[in-house]
């Protein structure tokens, strides 16, 4: 059992992992090395988040706009996604964790789609932790997808709950804390519906340099935030 380090923790944390390219450039390295370093950081930070007891973690790893990057960079990222999802590595890295992919991952090469499907299948009965991995993800597209599915199902009127139930994050609490590294202060189409009340945190640190100390600093900041949801009292 972990000692209690924080009085209050997010239930669901989102990471917009930004700054890999700049990290590599500042060292005179190719961008692909920034992404490899970013993946190492990602594995550590996801593990730490789960160990702290944060049950839901969402990652923005590849947006629908990222297809505009050079082919070689896209291929490098696809290779990393494949490695990450292949075989038993996901299950070993994150025991008791369900993999949930946000985004139309069928647009990736077959080998990646197969690896993803296999891991989703292997982890589908896990209930302790959930990792939402955004690849070929767009928050606005997610809402459009939800609305189209609702229409297909013959509904003629919706509520917030109905829309919630058609999103990738169906059944999950909304992210109460979103961290975007590298000093950029935008959501860039990440969880556009779910982030309505999220606390946002924008450290200047480039993603590959984000570490345990930085995470704890972020969580200390979250502890101080007073989440009122438009009311005058903080939610318990
Ligand atoms: C943003 O940094 C990062 C990405 C678009 C890719 C993130 C991918 C990884 C960390 C690697 C693999 C992840 C998984 C889940 C296997 P950027 O390239 O936009 O950085 P820049 O703004 O400094 O150029």
Domain assignments of the chain as residue spans, ordered by start: 12-138+175-223
Q: How many CB atoms lie within 10 A of CB 87?
A: 12
* CA 19 to centroid of ligand 1, rounded, Å: 7
Spatial contact of 20 and 35, defined as CB atoms under 8 Å apart: yes
Ligand 1 pocket, 19 CB below 6 A? yes
Residue with the larger pLDDT of the pair 86 and 177: 177
Band of residue 160 on the pLDDT scale cut at 50, 70, 90: very high
pLDDT-derived band at 232, boundaries 50, 70, 90 = confident
Task: Give the pLDDT band (50/70/90) at residue 235.
Answer: low
Report whether pLDDT(173) > 80: yes
Q: For the whole model, what pTM was predicted? A: 0.95
How far apart are alpha carbons 39 and 48 in whole angstroms? Answer: 14
Distance 63 CA to ligand 1 centre (A): 10
Amino acid 2: pLDDT: 52
DSSP three-state, residue 157: coil
Mean pLDDT score, 156-171: 98
Torsion region of 136: left, alpha or beta (phi above 0 gives left; psi -120 to 50 gives alpha): left
Question: For ligand 1, is residue 80 a contact (CB within 6 Å)?
Answer: yes
| Residue 18 annotated in active site | yes
Would you identify the CATH topology of the domain 12-138+175-223? Answer: Undecaprenyl pyrophosphate synthetase (3.40.1180)
pLDDT over threshold 80, residue 75: yes
Residue 152 is predicted with a pLDDT of: 98
Specify the pLDDT at position 153: 98
Mean pLDDT for 109-131 is 97
pLDDT of residue 236 exceeding 60, the answer is: no
**Mean pLDDT across the chain:** 95
Q: Which residues pair with 14 in a beta bridge?
A: 58, 178
Q: With a 6 A CB cut-off, is 22 part of the ligand 1 pocket? A: yes
pLDDT at res. 92 = 92
**Which own/partner contact pairs does 191-198 have at CB distance under 8 Å and 24+ positions apart?**
191/14, 191/58, 191/139, 192/139, 192/140, 192/142, 192/143, 193/139, 193/142, 193/143, 193/146, 193/163, 193/164, 193/167, 194/139, 194/167, 194/169, 195/14, 195/139, 197/227, 197/229, 198/14, 198/174
Q: Which long-range contacts (CB under 8 A, 24 or more apart) does 193-201 make?
A: 193/139, 193/142, 193/143, 193/146, 193/163, 193/164, 193/167, 194/139, 194/167, 194/169, 195/14, 195/139, 197/227, 197/229, 198/14, 198/174, 199/10, 199/225, 199/227, 201/177
Q: Which of 37-51, 118-132, 154-168, 215-229 has the lowest mean pLDDT?
A: 215-229
Cα 45 to ligand 1 centroid, rounded to whole Å: 14
231 confidence band (pLDDT: 50, 70, 90): confident
Q: Is 132 a catalytic residue?
A: no
């Amino acid at each position: 059992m972990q000692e209690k380090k924080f009085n209050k923790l997010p239930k669901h944390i989102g990471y917009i992992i930004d700054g890999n390219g700049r990290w590599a450039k500042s060292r005179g390295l190719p961008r692909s090395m920034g992404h490899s370093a970013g993946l190492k950081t990602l594995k550590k930070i996801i593990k730490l988040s789960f160990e702290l007891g944060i049950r839901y973690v969402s990652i923005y790893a590849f947006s629908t706009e990222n297809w505009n990057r050079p082919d070689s960079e896209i291929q490098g990222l696809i290779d990393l996604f494949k490695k990450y999802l292949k075989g038993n590595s996901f299950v070993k890295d994150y025991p008791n964790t369900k993999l949930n992919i946000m985004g139309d991952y069928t647009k990736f090469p077959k080998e990646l789609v197969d690896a993803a499907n296999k891991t989703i299948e292997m982890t589908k009965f896990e209930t302790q932790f959930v990792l939402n991995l955004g690849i070929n993800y767009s928050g606005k597209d997610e809402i459009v997808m939800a609305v189209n599915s609702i229409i297909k199902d013959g509904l003629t009127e919706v509520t917030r709950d109905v829309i919630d139930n058609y999103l990738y994050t169906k059944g999950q609490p909304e992210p109460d804390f979103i961290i975007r590294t590298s000093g950029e202060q935008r959501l860039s189409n990440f969880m556009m519906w779910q982030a309505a009340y999220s606390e946002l945190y924008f450290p200047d640190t480039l993603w590959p340099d984000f570490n345990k100390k930085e995470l704890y600093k972020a969580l200390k900041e979250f502890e101080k935030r007073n989440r009122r949801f438009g009311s005058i009292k903080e939610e318990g």
